[in-house]
Amino acid sequence: MGNEKLQQQYDWAKEEYAQYGVNVDDVLKRLADVKISMHCWQGDDVTGFMNPDQELTGGISVTGNYPGAAHTPDQLRQDLEKAFSLIPGKHKVNLHAMYVDTDEPVDLDEIEPVHYVKWVDWAKAQGLGLDFNPTFFSHPNSEDGFTLSHPDKKIRDFWIEHGKRSRKVAAYFGEELGQTSVNNFWVPDGYKDNPIDRLAPRKRLMESLDTIFAEELDRKYTLDAVESKLFGLGAEAYTVGSHEFYMGYGITRNKLICLDAGHFHPTEVISNKLSSLSLFSDGILLHVSRPVRWDSDHVVIMDDELQEIGRELVRNDLLGKTHIGLDFFDATINRVAAWVIGTRNTLKALLKAMLEPTEYLRKIELDGDYTSRLALTEELKDFPFVAVWDYYCQMQNVPVREEWLKEVKDYEKNVLVKRSEEVIGIE
């Protein structure tokens, strides 16, 4: 699409939105300030580089064998760079602890900032931030389904040490990059069938977390977050870290509470939780995912819930206290494309919400004019949002509309397929 046509469409869109007092130029400035934390584990199917032959555990399952999965940190960074070149704005990368980049063997209870120096150097060069996650799965000490709530103190101590060291790594990220690093704690602990004692594991988890968080770290550099889950594979009947557990823990310990779109009942949505949680917490961590019947971590699409999440964040002015990350993985499609689709859609949902005349809609609601509220919110769905999005992509020097897909296909042909052929030994 030519620049002149894009400008014409944008000018027309500005006029349409200006009828309701929306300054589209200002909206695009707001959107440019939003940072999405793009998860590294989409690029290698949650394998990591600490022990890539270790079976994937913790209730996590990745299906598919699309060519081109990253097998080294350099390959993963190369793929991330490609994805970011197709996504407007400057963002962050979300690392798991198992994505160390070091030549020395290291276990999870031994990690230090030095094992992630190459990631920090790369992030500096790319102008990106880094978030972090301790890895409480895919390890011999998690094989029976318990980590921080394990009845064996020796195993608990191993994971406690890992948690402590993870916090130091996250603080290092924040100090070096000048962007606060969110460090998110999720553990897969739970029972497949009904337990007798639901209380004791939760007490052990609480005590383990208290030990990990005992040292005060500068919140300028890192923020701790805790993430709940309804159930997982192998923990269908009981999850130690339930929503109620972490809601109570996060509020009483001044931690960010992570809401993952896939970690609740199949008919439960997180959009309706954001306003309530904002009243009682200093900040929120949001994991944008797409559950299909369960926590299946599908690539994020522009569905109703994603748009509703965007509206809640914008209408209630929550973007300043919400850290937005992605959490999905799909090995049935091009992994770079998955990143691009999910991240662009998340930004689109926020842009659509920013283009609403929120103050005007709030006024007619307070006036009791529910007819106008319904009529306008429906009509606004047909306003020329796409013209604004296209112009924003052009401004940010990334492909407009589906043009990005051609670049991904070229990258697949010239990089990803050749990478797969090298792995299986094809000359």
Q: What is the pLDDT of residues 384-401, one digit of tens each?
A: 999 999 999 999 999 999
Binding-site residues for Mn(2+), please? Answer: 263, 295, 297
* Matching residue, tokens 């960010």: 256
Q: What angle do CA 313, 318, 319 make, to 5 degrees?
A: 80
- Counting residues of the chain whose pLDDT is more than 70, the rounded percentage is 98
- Dump pLDDT digits (tens) for 105-140: 999 999 999 999 999 999 999 999 999 999 999 999
**Which one of the listed residues 44, 176, 295, 412 is annotated catalytic?**
295
pLDDT at 412: 96
- Residue 45 catalytic? no
- Residue 287 catalytic? yes
- Residue 265 catalytic? no
Tell me the two tokens of residue 122. 């790369």
What is the Cα–Cα distance from 2 to 143, expressed in whole angstroms?
56
Three-state DSSP at 116 gives helix
pLDDT at 110: 97
For range 21-25, the mean pLDDT: 97
**Which one of the listed residues 297, 305, 312, 390 is annotated catalytic?**
297
**Which one of the listed residues 227, 330, 356, 412 is annotated catalytic?**
227
Which one is predicted more confidently, 427 or 144? 144
- φ, ψ of residue 38 in degrees (nearest 5): -85, 125
Q: For helices 73-84 and 117-126, what crossing angle results, to 10°?
A: 20
- Residue 229 catalytic? yes
- Dump pLDDT digits (tens) for 302-325: 999 999 999 999 999 999 999 999
The strand pair at 190-191 and 256-260 is best described as unpaired
pLDDT at 53: 78
pLDDT at 355 over 70: yes
- Residue 207 catalytic? no
Task: Note whether 260 and 305 are within 8 A (CB).
Answer: no
Residues 6+ positions from 171 with CB-CB distance below 8 Å: 181, 217, 218, 221, 222
Q: How is the chain split into domains, by residue range?
A: 34-355
- Residue 327 catalytic? yes
- Residue 260 catalytic? yes
pLDDT at 427 over 60: no
- Dump pLDDT digits (tens) for 254-304: 999 999 999 999 889 999 999 999 999 989 999 999 999 888 899 999 999
For range 21-37, the mean pLDDT: 97
- Counting residues of the chain whose pLDDT is more than 90, the rounded percentage is 91
pLDDT at 424: 59
- Residue 339 catalytic? no
Superfamily of domain 34-355: Divalent-metal-dependent TIM barrel enzymes (3.20.20.150)
- Residue 224 catalytic? no
